[in-house]
Amino acid sequence: MQIDYYLATTSPYAYLAGTRPAEIAAKHGAGIVYKPLGVFDLFARTGGTPPKDRHESRQAYRLVEMRRQAEKAGKPINLHPAHWPTNPAPSAYAIIAAQREGGGDLAALVAGLTRACWAEERDIAEDAVIADCLEAAGFDRGLVDRGMMAGAETYARNLEEAVAAGAFGVPFFVAGEETFWGQDRLDDLDRYLSRA
C-alpha cells in the first residue's frame, strides 16, 4: 500500500501531524510519498477560501481549533507566527529534492520545516532556515541550491494530482481508494490500513 501525502509546509495542521503519518505507514508496512503543494492554489482550484478572506467568526474559530489541536498533540504553537504566510515553494522544493536524493529522514524534514514556521518564528522561505532543517533531518544542506527546476515541475504536478485525487485541503492522505483530510483523521487512516 502506498500513501500519497499532500501537504503544505505553511499548514499548521501539517505541523500538528508531525511525524505520525510516517509512523503509521511504517506500522503497516506501507510506503509514503510526500507531495508538497501550494495550499492557496489548491483552495483556488477546489472552492476553498484563504484564512484571511474568511468571515471573522471562521477566522476566530480556526484559532481556537488550532490551540485545542496543539494541546491535544502536546505541541507548542504560535497562533500568529511572524513569518506566515510566507512563500512555501522553496521549502516544498527542498522536500521534493530530498525525497528524490534520499539519505535522510523525510518525516523529520517535514516536521522540522513546519515546526520552524509554527513554533520557532523562522521564515521557511529563507535558504538558511531550509538548509538547517535539511541538515537536522540528515540531508545535504546543499539540496537547498539543487534541483529547483525539477522541484518546480513536481510542485505543479502535485497540485494537479491533488485535485484529481479529490483533495481540497491539507494535510490530505490517499491510501488505495480511501481519502483522509486533516491531521485529526490520522487515527482513521491507521484503522483503514490495519484492515487493508
| Mean pLDDT, the chain, integer | 97
Q: Are strands 31-36 and 2-7 parallel, antiparallel or unpaired?
A: parallel
Q: Is the pLDDT of residue 147 over 80?
A: no
Distance between CA 109 and CA 147 in Å, rounded? 17
Nearest to 115 by CA among 151, 81, 142, 148: 81
Q: Give 165: exposed, middle or buried? Use CB within 10 Å, 0-12, 13-18, 19+.
A: middle
Torsion angles phi and psi, residue 8, rounded to 5: -130, 135
Q: How far is CA 122 from the centre of its chain?
A: 16
26-40 pLDDT, tens digit each:
999 999 999 999 999
Q: How far is CA 157 from CA 13, 42, 48, 97, 151, in A?
A: 22, 12, 19, 14, 10
pLDDT for the residue numbered 170: 98
Residue 148, pLDDT score: 78
Query: How sure is the predictor about 120, in pLDDT bands with cuts at 50, 70 and 90?
Result: very high
What is the pLDDT, as a whole number, of residue 196? 86
Is a pLDDT exceeding 80 seen at residue 145? yes
pLDDT over 90 percentage in the chain: 96
pLDDT tier at 171, thresholds 50, 70, 90: very high
- Average pLDDT of the segment spanning 157-167: 98
Q: Give me the pLDDT at residue 150, please.
A: 85
**Domains along the sequence of the chain with CATH:** 2-195 (3.40.30.10)
Q: Report CA 119 to chain centroid distance, whole Å.
A: 15
Read off the C-alpha cell for 134: 535539511
CA distances from 151 to 8, 37, 54, 178 (A): 14, 11, 31, 27
Q: What confidence category does residue 146 fall into, taking pLDDT thresholds of 50, 70 and 90?
A: confident
Mean per-residue pLDDT, 81-91:
96
